[in-house]
Amino acid sequence: MMLIAVGWILVLLLAGGLALDRAMTAMATRNFDEQLGYMLTGMIGSAEIGPDGEVFFNRPLGDQRFLEPNSGLYWQISGKGHEDFPSRSLWDRTLKISADHQDAQAHIFDSSQFAGEPLRIMERSIILPGSNTTWWFVVAESRHELDAQIRRIRTILIDSFLVLGLGLVLMAAIQSWYGLSPLRRVRLAIAHMRSTGANRVTDPLPVEVQPLVQELNDLLSHNERQAEEARTHAGNLAHALKTPLTVLLNAAQAREPDLAESVARETAVMRRQVEHHLARARAVGRRGAGQARTVVWDAAKSVMRAVERLYGDARFDLDGSHDAQVAIERQDLDDLLGNLIENAAKYGGGSVFVTIDAGDKGELVEIWVEDDGMGIPQAERTRIFDRGARLDTGKPGTGLGLAIVRDVAEIYGGNVELDESEDLGGLLVKLRLPRARG
């Protein structure tokens, strides 16, 4: 910020200084030239042609310097075929005039014909009454005074702009220091939070940085939730594996004849438990990575084709919105629909009906999965979501399907509810997931 401020200050001051220098220099030069113009006009107004055909003044010129030798102010009248008529101040010198052109208007130029004395010269060609000769009226003045005045102007400008530039840089530094002080306070607040073990920035801070502090606190809350979920998942997985491992250990120590069956059964349970917690961990990680978009119809169609291969006798129907999208990763949505549709085919009577966006089209996309089976009694609809809970123990399974559906849906901000299907008479599972925005 300081480098940018200093750079712009230098550019603006330089541009402004150059423009002001040109304006002031032009003004001083113009005033200088106007004085020469007054003198030239006075010469022309006082000039007459004498009886001998030479020019003379009918009244003396007013500036005393014309009478002082080498005073720095000179005049001269020249005409072709006539001797030059110079001022006394020229003494033994002559102004060099180029008579090969006509200057109906005053012509001003700089000359260095006198060594060590640069001149500012104004000339004009005039034909006086009573004469056919073109006379050149010339007024010259030393530039020493003009150049000294321009140097004074530039000195004043440089000193003024240096002071102005230093003042602006100082003000920019103070402004930057003061303007960034809230960020220093945020840094100190974070350091205080780390040193004291606090989990939020609670120090009173300016309103300008409150959105930053709020986002920081939200990030800390998000990290805490993820850390707590990770600890919970690890504890749940350890608890879930403890019982199968104990069963296997006891069977091995007792050398039971059905040890192979026990190993196969308990290993399947452990694998399902690991898959369950891995699914939760993937969902948490994907939720934190950013908002995903998945078309529900495509996922449901793909899952149905896979389940149809396992349950060829079942009838599957899909209806509803083709365009509904949810803010969930495709793999996680496939897991959710796979558990629900496979359960409907396994425990139903042979018909599975899936409806997409069957609710009120609000913030959540509602997906209905219905079957024509026995359904689940009202009293059991809460318990069935517990890990390992099964109502039909006659069919293979681990009782983790609905638990996975509930956990993953809640991670993404959705929910799942059990009801009775009015059309098929069996179980109706209402899965609600957040609708993708935009």
Q: What residues contact 130, with CB distance under 8 A and at least 6 apart? A: 48, 49
Cross-sheet strand order for the sheet of 427-434: 315-320, 351-356, 364-371, 427-434, 415-420
DSSP-derived secondary structure for 138-152: EEEEESHHHHHHHHH
CA 249 to chain centre: 62
The confidence band for 395, taking pLDDT boundaries of 50, 70 and 90, is very low
Matching residue, tokens 């606090």: 198
pLDDT digits (tens, 9 = 90+) for 71-82: 999 999 988 888
- Proportion of the chain above pLDDT 70, given as a percent: 89
pLDDT digits (tens, 9 = 90+) for 303-347: 999 999 888 888 999 999 999 999 888 888 888 899 899 989 988
DSSP-derived secondary structure for 67-126: GSTT-SEEEEEEETTS--EE-GGGTT-------SS--SS-EEEEE--STT--EEEEEEEE
Assess whether pLDDT exceeds 50 at residue 17. yes
φ/ψ (deg, to 5) at 433: -130, 150
Query: Which residues on adjacent β-strands are paired with residue 320?
Result: 356
Assess whether pLDDT exceeds 60 at residue 397. no
pLDDT digits (tens, 9 = 90+) for 29-54: 999 999 999 999 999 989 998 888 88
pLDDT at 128: 87
Query: Which residues on adjacent β-strands are paired with residue 326?
Result: 294, 435
Helix axes 144-179, 181-196, angle to 10 degrees: 30
φ/ψ (deg, to 5) at 230: -65, -45
φ/ψ (deg, to 5) at 51: -60, -30
Query: Which residues on adjacent β-strands are paired with residue 141?
Result: 73, 120
CA angle 332, 338, 341 (to 5 degrees): 140
Residue 126 exposure: Cα atoms within 13 Å on the Cβ side: 21
| Helix (H) or strand (E) segment spanning residue 16 | helix 2-46
Assess whether pLDDT exceeds 60 at residue 290. no
Average of per-residue pLDDT across 52-66: 86
Report how far apart, in Å, the C-alpha atoms of 1 and of each of 164, 171, 176, 186 are.
19, 13, 7, 19
Q: What residues contact 383, with CB distance under 8 A and at least 6 apart? A: 389
The confidence band for 438, taking pLDDT boundaries of 50, 70 and 90, is low
Q: Does residue 111 contact residue 118 with C-beta atoms inside 8 Å?
A: yes
Report how far apart, in Å, the C-alpha atoms of 328 and of each of 71, 214, 334, 384 are.
96, 26, 10, 24
pLDDT digits (tens, 9 = 90+) for 384-393: 766 544 444 4
The confidence band for 284, taking pLDDT boundaries of 50, 70 and 90, is low
Q: Does residue 47 contact residue 78 with C-beta atoms inside 8 Å?
A: no
- Least confident segment among 123-137, 140-154, 196-210, 300-314: 196-210
Report CA Rg, the chain: 51
Helix boundaries (H) for 352-400: none
Assess whether pLDDT exceeds 70 at residue 400. no
pLDDT digits (tens, 9 = 90+) for 164-194: 999 999 999 998 888 888 888 888 888 887 7
Cα diameter, the chain: 158
